Amino acid sequence: MLPQEIIRRKRDGQKLASSEIAAFIEGLAAGTVSEGQAAAFAMAVFFNGMSGEEAVALTVAMRDSGDVLDWSDLPGPVADKHSTGGVGDNVSLMLAPIVAACGAYVPMISGRGLGHTGGTLDKMDAIPGYVSQPDKALFRKAVLETGCAIIGQTGDLAPADKRLYAIRDVTATVESVPLITASILSKKLAAGLQSLVLDVKLGNGAFMEKARDATALASSLVGVANGAGLKTSALITDMNQPLASAAGNAVEVRNAVDFLTGKYRDRRLEEVALALSGEMLRQAGIAASHQDAARRVRQVLDGGAAAQTFGRMVAALGGPADFVEKPAFYLPKAGVELAVKAPRDGYVGGIAARDIGLAVVALGGGRTRPDAAIDHAVGVTRLLPVGAEVRTGEALALVHARSRGDAETAASAIVSAYGLTDARPTPRKVVVRRVLPN
C-alpha cells in the first residue's frame, strides 16, 4: 500500500482498515515512510480523528513494530502508571519505588519532554551515570533485583512510536487524542504489563485544558487499553498549577528524593502520588480496598522502603550507590539563582502553568526540536502554590539559570504567569474523577 494513499484516505475523513494502519506503521519503523509522510499522517489524524477500532489497530501496530517483553517468570504482578504530562509532574519518580516496595514489579518505559511539559526520562538523565536507555538484559536485571526500573524506549520496543513521538513534538500534533492514546499504550503494551493506571491531566498546564477533552482522552485510553487486552483505569487530576514546587529536570529529581525520604512533600503532589499508588495496588490485586492501599503506601514511605528501592534502582542502572543520601552532591547546578519577587501584596489566585513550563524550556530545560540538547541544571524551585499569601517583594519562586540575562527573562515570564488576588481563592479538587472501562 502506498503511504500517500493511506494519508489521502485519512485526510478525506475515511476510516482506515487495520491492514492499512499496520502497513503504514511497518513502513514508519522500516524507514520507507518519510518524516514528511509521517507528519502528514499525524496532521490528518489530528483533524479527522480515529474510530475506536482504528485507535486499537494503531496501538497494536506500534506495539508490534518491535519486541514485546515477557515478565511471566516474575513472582508478582507487573504494573505501571503513565501521565499525559504536565508542569512539575515528577510523580513517576516516587510511584515506581512506592509500588515496587509494596510487592509489584514496575517496568516503567517513559518518554522525553513534549512541548511545555517535562519528560520523566529527561529527569532521570540528570542523575550522573544513570543508564536511561539500557539494553533488555540490564532492564530485566534492574526490575528483577529492585522491583522497578524507569527507562526510555530502546530501539527494539515500539520503535515506530519512538519516531512518530519526536515528529509530533515539532509539528503541532501533540494534542490528538488517538495519537496520544496509541503513543502511550503502545509502549505500555510492549512492556508486557498486566495492569496500568493512567494519570490524565486537566487544566491550563495540561494538553487537555477542558474537562470534556480530558474525559474524552481518559475514556479513549481506558477503552483502547482494555480493547487491546490490558487491564486499565484512569484518574483525571488537576494541572491548573505546577504539581510540585519545582519545574525542571535536576530540581524535580531533588524534589522527588525529598518526597521519598520525607524531608519535604508538596501537598498536592502528595495527594496525587498517594491516589495513583493506591489505584495501582488495587489494579494489581495487591490491595483489597482504598483503605488497605493507603495503609500499605504509608508504611513503605514512612518506613523508608520506598526511598531505599529508588536508591537501589538508581545504582542498578549505573547511578551513584549513595544518590538518595547525597542528591545535592551529584545533581548538576545552574550558576545563577534569582528570586522572582511579588509585585504586590495578595494571595496567589491562579498560575498559568503552561507559561511556567515554557519558561523552563526557554532556560534550556526543554526542547524546541527533537535533537536539541537539554540543560538538566536549569529550572524553577520554591514555586508558591495557588492560595499562598505573599507580600510585596517576597519570592514567588526561585529561578536557576546559566546567566543573569536568562534568569531575568524567566523571572519576567513567571511574574506574568502568577495572578494575585485580594481574597484567598477556593481550592480546586486535585483528583477530579476516576474513569473505568464501560
Catalytic residue among 146, 173, 183, 237, which? Answer: 183
Distance of CA 378 to the CA centre of its chain: 19
To the query of whether residue 123 is one of the catalytic residues in this protein, the response is: no
Catalytic residue among 59, 63, 65, 81, which? Answer: 81
Cell numbers 497494536 correspond to 60
3-state secondary structure of 265: coil
Residues 290, 281: Cα–Cα separation, whole Å = 9
To the query of whether residue 188 is one of the catalytic residues in this protein, the response is: yes
To the query of whether residue 82 is one of the catalytic residues in this protein, the response is: yes
Catalytic residue among 10, 63, 82, 376, which? Answer: 82
Catalytic residue among 63, 187, 296, 354, which? Answer: 187
Name residues whose C-beta falls within 8 Å of residue 377's C-beta, 6 or more positions apart in sequence. 126, 248, 249, 250, 331, 332, 333, 334, 400, 402
Catalytic residue among 80, 161, 169, 238, which? Answer: 80
Report the side by side order of strands in the sheet with 431-435: 79-83, 195-202, 231-238, 431-435
To the query of whether residue 326 is one of the catalytic residues in this protein, the response is: no
DSSP state string for 74-115: SSS-BEEEEE---SS--HHHHHHHHHHHTT-BEEEEE---BT
To the query of whether residue 81 is one of the catalytic residues in this protein, the response is: yes
To the query of whether residue 232 is one of the catalytic residues in this protein, the response is: no
Beta strand ranges found along 306-382 (DSSP E) = 336-341, 346-351, 379-381
Cell numbers 548538576 correspond to 332
Quick one: cell of 92?
513517576
To the query of whether residue 183 is one of the catalytic residues in this protein, the response is: yes
Residues 110, 113: Cα–Cα separation, whole Å = 10
Catalytic residue among 10, 112, 168, 376, which? Answer: 168
Residues 374, 363: Cα–Cα separation, whole Å = 9
Catalytic residue among 10, 116, 188, 201, which? Answer: 188
To the query of whether residue 72 is one of the catalytic residues in this protein, the response is: no
3-state secondary structure of 168: helix
To the query of whether residue 412 is one of the catalytic residues in this protein, the response is: no
Burial 102-132 (b: 16+ CB within 10 A, else e): bbbbbbbbbbbbbbbbbbbbbbbbbbeebbb
Residues taking part in catalysis: 80-83, 120, 168, 183, 187-188
